[in-house]
């Protein structure tokens, strides 16, 4: 029996994005594609962050091959790319597969 591992970081669609930004929590969005090695590495970091900051932030991922509108709107050009939103406003952009501590420090700075 092959079951997918449970994830704390849901994949959302373009249509889900606006409602997400209207929340009162810090929102971290991982822009990725499933076949990208560095993206998979960052996705593992996002899972750990979701566990560490459980209840304090919202973390989601957007597959840029399946969803084009939001990546275009925020000029996502390289993958992986992580954007942090606070009160609906973009407050930080992290390009590339950085160490997990880089993402954790960004979240802590904006909480």
Q: Which of 36, 60, 91, 97 is catalytic?
A: 36
36 is catalytic: yes
Q: Which of 12, 28, 29, 39 is catalytic?
A: 39
User: In whole angstroms, how far apart are CA 10 and each of 1, 58, 87, 109?
Assistant: 22, 10, 20, 23
Among all residues, which ones are annotated catalytic?
A: 36, 39
């Amino acid at each position: 029996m092959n079951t997918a591992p449970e994830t704390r970081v849901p994949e959302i669609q373009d249509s889900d994005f606006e409602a997400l930004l209207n929340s009162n929590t810090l929102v971290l969005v991982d822009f990725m594609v499933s076949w990208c090695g560095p993206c998979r590495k960052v996705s593992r970091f996002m899972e750990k962050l979701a566990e560490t900051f459980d209840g304090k932030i919202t973390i989601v991922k957007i597959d840029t091959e399946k969803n084009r509108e939001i990546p275009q709107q925020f000029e996502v050009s390289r993958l992986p790319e992580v954007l942090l939103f606070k009160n609906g406003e973009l407050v930080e952009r992290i390009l590339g597969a950085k160490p997990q501590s880089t993402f954790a420090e960004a979240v802590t700075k904006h909480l």
